[in-house]
Amino acid sequence: MTAPFAQQVRTCAAADGARIAYATTGAGPPLVKVANWLSHLEFDTRSPVWRHWIRELSRDHTLVRYDERGVGLSEREVTEFSLDAWVRDLEAVVDALGLERFPLLGLSQGGPIAIAYAARHPERVSHLILYGSYARGRNHRQLSAREREERELMLRIIAVGWGNDHPAFRQVFTSLFIPDASAEQAEWFNELQRVSAAPESAARMVGTFDGLDAQALATRLRVPALVLHATGDLRIPFAEGELLASLLPGARFVPLESRNHILLEDEPAWPRFLAEVRAFLGVAPDAPAPAPPAVPAGSGGAARRARLGELFDGALDLPAAERAAFLARACGDDVTLRREVEALLELAERPGLTARLARAAGGGTVSLAPVRPGDTLLQYRIEERLGTGGMGVVYRAADTRLQRAVALKFLPAYLSDDDQLRRRFLLEAKAGARLDHPNICTVLEVEQLGDGQLVIVMPCYEGETLKAKVARGPLPVEEALTYAAQVASGLAHAHAAGLIHRDIKPANLIVTSGEWVKILDFGIAKLADHDLTHPGAVLGTPSYMSPEQAAGEPLDHRTDLWALGAVLYEMLTGHPPFRGDGPGALFHAIQQQDPAPVQALRPEVPPALSALVHRLLEKDPAQRFAEAGEVAERLRLIRHELGAGR
């Protein structure tokens, strides 16, 4: 038996409460496959009929698959089978993954479902790929008396014989779907029919498929479309593929020499199908998969350090509930690599210096600053550890000389000998010390212990981060306006001093008990006269990186304005403007896609505020605001007008 693909199956609820199972494989920009009649997320990964589809479509993309209602791992006991219900299933999966724009692949009856979804959500579908599909079900075709009789006979065979242990009835369908199958392929497809759906549900679904009609919807679409169809398809006549292509404006039609409704791996039509799809999506035929292969456990050197850093970066920016699935796919069987990433994640989930630099730990053991509560260092008595960042451990302490509470940030011991990181730690102190603003964390002292370890002394603020606040849901509009205006004011002060933060995110913004927002961590800041980063280096947290920052291009203060827009978007909607399963897909979204309009997600947001957010998120820095001070003033004006209108 062939080993299954590494995937994490998750579930979501459709609008009517039906539980839909979905899975992702591969890495890169998303490609969503609409569910077709016969599927089973786990069974298909081992099947010689479907595994080459999953493998090849996951090569350059994050392939999204799901079992439709009544099928596979999705809820079996459902009452409604209809075009609208199937579109709602697709909507639920797309929304659960936070996808904004993507190509849509429809096979067989997945085609009319894809057409209906694209008509309902034209802003989300970038490309439409339809294989072996149709725009009209059999009830809308001019069938002969014999064809009508065959249709009724097939429905009867499904209802009576589908669930039998003997595969004779199911072999009828196998001969229609894959007439050129080998004995092994036929056996797998026979079994797929049995495990994918109950006989009654399968018959109801086929009856509903026959009534589908997406002809009018197809003529109204304005999306690049590719239609492919096997010339000898025994399940869906070739003429239906030709009709489908003629209805879609500007669609390209590709005939494939095959008799199989599902293309098999060893037939010439399969590589032709792949070449056409990849060219249509702009993927080079010999392009490597975007995700580098896992480095074998125990290997050392730069390759493993780079892989560890990449996985750490990708996992750190995902919601906690999604990290296990991401690491399972990315690490595969490399248990050691996964444990190393998980160890770094434990240290890096709280505010601190640039989390990305935690990769410096390589494959070694992560060690913390060698202090314990109760210890006294200089005039500071350690009370408790507050948190850990990528290259900083923070403790609450009592300043016994000045009788005040302070926060001490230590450079971790295992990095103390690294001159590059020591210089960066000092740069944070220098950057913070030159700033004096109520919305920026103050640096009180920079101390050096007897063993050479450096410590930054800061005020200890009582409050919580914006990350913690947004985790409970979107903020009230006035509250979001207040916080964003304070961040913009702090950034205006820093920018005037020649400093760019480059890691503005909710975890680096703390709201004190007095409702003051403090910007933390200028640890990866770029001074106008002193930049320690290498050319092309990408530092920051992926979801809040500007397009130019994600591309490793030169930055100016407008990258912070983009990040402020991302934070404000999240405060208003409850999630960042761009999401993706891994850094590759996320960076693609940031650089190539537009976020969903704020007002579409939250209608009560004033139009002026929605426009301001989207201007901050412009891809071209020249299209954003010129200065943070202007943003602060506009936010205050919107807040004033909002209050005056009540």
Catalogue the active-site residues: 503
Q: What ranges make up the beta strands (E) of 375-496? A: 376-377, 380-389, 392-399, 404-410, 445-448, 454-459, 463-465
How far apart CA 34 and CA 30 sit, in angstroms, is: 13
**Using an 8 Å Cβ cutoff, are 2 and 50 in contact?**
no
Q: Which of 520, 431, 479, 411 is nearest to 639 (CA)?
A: 479
Amino acid identity, position 548? E
State the sign of the Cα–Cα–Cα–Cα dihedral 359, 362, 366, 369: negative
| Spatial distance between the Cα atoms of 91 and 77, rounded to a whole number of angstroms | 20
For residue 366, the one-letter residue type is: V
Using CA atoms, how far apart are residues 275 and 284, in angstroms rounded to an integer? Answer: 9
Contact criterion met (CB below 8 Å) for 621 and 556: yes
Answer for the pair 189, 174: CB distance below 8 angstroms, yes or no: yes
In a 3-state reduction of DSSP, which class is residue 458?
A: strand
Nearest C-alpha neighbor of 158 from the set 50, 70, 63, 231: 70
- Please state, in angstroms and rounded to a whole number, the distance separating the CA atoms of residues 548 and 302: 26
Instruction: Report how far residue 577's alpha carbon sits from residue 574's, in angstroms, rounded to the nearest whole number.
Output: 9
Q: Are strands 392-399 and 380-389 parallel, antiparallel or unpaired?
A: antiparallel
C-alpha span between 370 and 427 (Å, rounded): 23
Q: Where are the beta strands (DSSP E) in 132-202?
A: none
Q: What angle do CA 57, 2, 278 make, to 5 degrees?
A: 10
φ, ψ (nearest 5 deg) of residue 266? -95, 10
State how far the Cα of 543 lies from the Cα of 520, in Å rounded to an integer: 18
Q: Distance between CA atoms of 586 and 549, rounded to whole angstroms?
A: 13
Phi, psi at 78, each rounded to 5°: -125, 155
Residue 296 per-residue DSSP state: P
Tokens 């008396």 belong to residue: 145
Spatial separation of the C-alpha atoms in residues 333 and 578, rounded to whole Å: 30
d(CA 573, CA 612): 15
Intra-chain end-to-end CA distance of the chain, in Å: 67
